[in-house]
Amino acid sequence: MTTQRIAVILRNGQPDETVTVQGWVRTKRELKEFAFVEVNDGSAMANLQIVIDPKLSNYENIVKQLNTGASIEVVGVLVASPAKGQRIELKASMVIVYGDADPQTYPLQKKRHSFEFLRTIAHLRSRTNTYSAVFRVRNACAYAVHQFFQERGFLWVHTPIITASDCEGAGEMFSVTNFDLTKIPRNDTQQIDFSQDFFGKPAYLTVSGQLEAEVMAMAFGNVYTFGPTFRAENSNTSRHLAEFWMIEPEMAFCDLEGDMDLAEAFLKYIFKYVLENCREDMEFFNDRIDNTVLATAENMINNQFERLTYTEAVALLEKADKQFEFPVKWGLDLQSEHERYLAEELFKKPTIVTDYPVGIKAFYMRLSDDEKTVRAMDILAPKIGEIIGGSQREERLDILERRIEAQGMNKDDLWWYLDLRRYGTVPHAGFGLGFERVVQFMTGMGNIRDVIPFPRAPLTIDF
């Protein structure tokens, strides 16, 4: 007989069925007539209640070991539960304890622990209600991402994690080297001699797979990446990780309107999928973490996103009856407080801001005819700020070369990227979505370090 997942038993199990379950003890209660053990296997928020009869052989020895955290296997028969709040329970005929957990030292006690404390036990925190719900939702989100793109014929492409192009994230990149750091080779002028390094030149962890995704879009039309991304952000914020996952679709024969339409449909799709498939977890977040998450998700699915230009956004911010910490002025980048004001207070829904000043956006974004703005779009979400950054790309060789030079970059390093504009160039567009920001937005979790199993941030790498 195979083991069954507790989620399946709780949903479909029928009285008199014999089942085997495996999981970890959440709680134990010993009464005169029976011992009750709540067991959880991570498949659902709810536990399965195990009823153990004192007549079971070796009863005392077994029950003694069934402490919170112990791993067990139980064979038994399902019975309708007299207890309220659960339909079914399992009457044990055999209990195997794989590993006990000393109640004197097991760090997860029944009381509520703070997220700060739980971050210090990242190897155990997934056994709590909150984190197991977060990681189930995260899994469902990831599945929905692939389903959305695959249904539409997008190819999933794997872009490199180690890269030589430092054009996007100057200053924010982690170096990759196999130099012995105590004796780094230097040349006559005391510069580091990268010709002796592994790749023969400086290498970094990627901050984005976009440039390579563009290469693939020029062969397959529509592609997407979904992989890890690294930024040596010194900002210790609740929205930044040093290692996070990014989804970057890239579409040939597509302009900014098509890009926005796809981004909006995409966000709606994953929210809908999670609401339909993780209802119990989402209700938990709504009850315990943030009582607006269900309404926010519904609102997201059912309403059109607000769309306005940067120029219009700045005018609204200048008129706002609110003191901002950072200045608002045409030409300056929007800060998180401005983004949140727009999405959270003014429009109260996801908001797409387009056509940013050329001076604050990347070289590859398509220059508009006014030559003052580029065809960029950011999607701002209530509470989080930016969750998507995208643009129509500059497909005209001469203008792209001019922009690269204007930013003080060397166009020879980007020869292959420029080749895409030499051979069969087409209008194209794409965006980048921070996966953790979406999970954060969806669950209401306040800190991005709580939506990835092993967060990497300044001075944070123990697990």
The pairing of beta strand 373-381 with beta strand 385-392: antiparallel
Shortest gap between Cβ of 369 and ligand ATP (angstroms)? Answer: 24
The alpha-carbon radius of gyration of the chain (Å, integer) is: 27
Vertex 179: Cα angle to 174 and 182 (nearest 5): 105
Cα distance between residue 304 and residue 257, in whole Å? 14
Report the residue number, 436 or 450, with the smaller CB distance to ligand ATP: 436
Indicate the pairing of strand 35-40 with strand 18-30. antiparallel
> What phi and psi values does residue 129 have, to the nearest 5 degrees?
-60, -50
- How many CB atoms are located within 10 Å of the residue 256 CB? 24
In whole angstroms, the minimum distance from the beta carbon of 129 to ligand ATP comes to 25
Q: Based on CB atoms, which residue is closest to ligand ATP, 233 or 281?
A: 233
Which amino acid is it at 418? L
Q: Which is nearer to ligand ATP, 41 or 436 (CB)?
A: 436
Residue numbers at the binding site for ligand ATP (CB under 6 A): 231, 233, 239-241, 244, 246, 386-389, 432-434, 436-437
Positive/negative CA dihedral, 272, 229, 307, 396: negative
Cβ proximity to ligand ATP: between 136 and 437 the closer is 437
Residues in the chain: 463
Which one, 197 or 386, has the nearer CB to ligand ATP? 386
Least CB distance to ligand ATP at residue 447 (A): 12
The strands making up 203-205's β-sheet, listed across from edge to edge, are: 162-163, 203-205, 175-176
Report DSSP state, residue 343: I
CB nearer to ligand ATP: give 25 or 263: 263
CB of 160 to ligand ATP, least distance (A): 17
Q: Between 306 and 436, whose beta carbon lies closer to ligand ATP?
A: 436
> Least CB distance from residue 149 to ligand ATP, whole Å?
17
CB proximity list for 410: less than 8 A, separation 6 or greater: 404
Shortest distance in whole angstroms from residue 202 CB to ligand ATP: 21
- Tell the smallest beta-carbon distance from residue 315 to ligand ATP (Å): 21
In the chain, what are the helix, strand and coil shares in percent, each to the nearest 5?
A: 35, 25, 40
Alpha-carbon span 192 to 186, nearest angstrom: 4
Least CB distance to ligand ATP at residue 349 (A): 17
**SS3 state at 187:** coil
For ligand ATP, the closer of residues 12 and 175 by Cβ is 175
Closest CA to 243 of 454, 459, 463, 432: 454
